[in-house]
Amino acid sequence: MSAEPSLALVERDADGVDLAFRADVLAGLTQDPKAVPARWFYDEEGSRLFEEITRLPEYYPTRAETEILRGRCEEFRRLIPAGRAVVEFGSGSSVKTPLLLGCIEPASYVPLDISGDFLRASADELAGNFPHLPIHPVEADFMKPVSLPTPVADLPKLGFFPGSTIGNMVAPTAVDLLRSMRETLGADSQLLIGMDLIKDVAVMEAAYDDPQGVTSAFNLNLARRINRELGGTLPLDKLRHVARWNDTWARIEMHLESTENLAFEVSGRRFAMRRGETIHTENSHKFDRRSQYTLLLAGGWTPIERWLDSEERFSLILAQASAPRHAP
Ligand code: AVJ
């Protein structure tokens, strides 16, 4: 069932170091302010910690989005024609994906992920629940246009991008991704996308700074990963998890803040941090209806329906690929 990829997407040097990880970390630590892209959170331990985050009482997005998926089955059936190939961007979640697939009579399911291991695990799990559904996992970086396997290339498509992962991106990157999704999915495609909403600051900050310390462990795991994979000497006991709302850019930011002046090495290069200086590790943008529609339209998608959970914390939007326009 799984198409064996001819070569792995992750490029490594002779010591097994992920070259893109090293390049991103070295460039990010050289910048002022320091920053490392959030995608590097998700090694095995980071993925496990994220799963734990989704079960925290303070972390509402997963429960709110799942509530919408459970409650809107009839409407999905009405608005999404049967016989589509469902293309999921990122490894499928064990809970959300079956809720959608069970509603809409898909012709096939195409999970897209850069990690072959996560991809095979989620495809195998899904196959157990949907024994008659053709599954075509594709190992690819979904930030770029992807050419889909022949059995699904000619089917109309529904893109599925839950979790508000789009919120991890600054606007130009988010628009690039939406446009490349449109290219991957084609002219008569639809997109079902989850986006988190702006709300009470205390609620948003608690979701990223739980008292149990799971999100702190998730953030610090990035430093641990840098130490392990890139020969780093970051002192974990002198870095503090910080999550704060940035109202100008409408986002929760996560940082690792140094509690004293530090000197450390990564990949044989020397770095320094002043006490109170931070490494910016994640943005999680939050939206309102207008900012959502502006972003989607800029990316080539016209919203057709929008649903909120009962507490109006999270939204799921169905959009269709916009027709090219030559006039207002
Ligand atoms: C997986 C990107 C949706 O931004 O809410 C959770 C990641 N980071 N807690 C988010 C995350 C800290 C999450 N996304």
Contact status, residue 277 vs residue 51, Cβ threshold 8 Å: no
CA distances from 68 to 85, 87, 192, 207 (A): 21, 19, 12, 19
- Residues near 234 by beta carbon (within 8 Å), at least 6 away in sequence: 223, 226, 227, 264, 266
The pLDDT value recorded for residue 295 is 98
Write down the mean pLDDT value for the chain. 94
Q: Distance from the CA of 155 to the center of ligand 1, in angstroms?
A: 32
Mutation probe of ligand 1 site: the residue of 284, 287, 314, 316 with most atoms within 8 A of C-beta = 284
Q: What is the mean pLDDT of residues 199-227?
A: 98
pLDDT band at residue 3 using 50, 70 and 90 as cut-offs: very low
Atom of ligand 1 nearest to the CA of 168: 2
Ligand 1 binding pocket includes 62 (Cβ within 6 Å): no
pTM: 0.95
- State yes or no: pLDDT of 251 exceeds 70: yes
**268 closest CA partner among 79, 43, 49, 29:** 29
167 lines ligand 1 (CB under 6 A): yes
| pLDDT of amino acid 7 | 56
Q: Is 61 a pocket residue for ligand 1 (Cβ < 6 Å)?
A: yes
Q: Does 282 sit in the ligand 1 pocket, CB within 6 Å? A: yes
Q: Which residues pair with 318 in a beta bridge?
A: 192, 305
Number of CB atoms found within 10 A of residue 16's CB: 7
Tokens describing residue 205: 């900050």
Measured between alpha carbons, how far is 124 from 135 in angstroms, rounded to an integer?
Answer: 9
Paired sense of beta strands 85-89 and 157-161, if any: parallel
Indicate if ligand 1 lies below 6 Å from the C-beta of 208.
Answer: yes
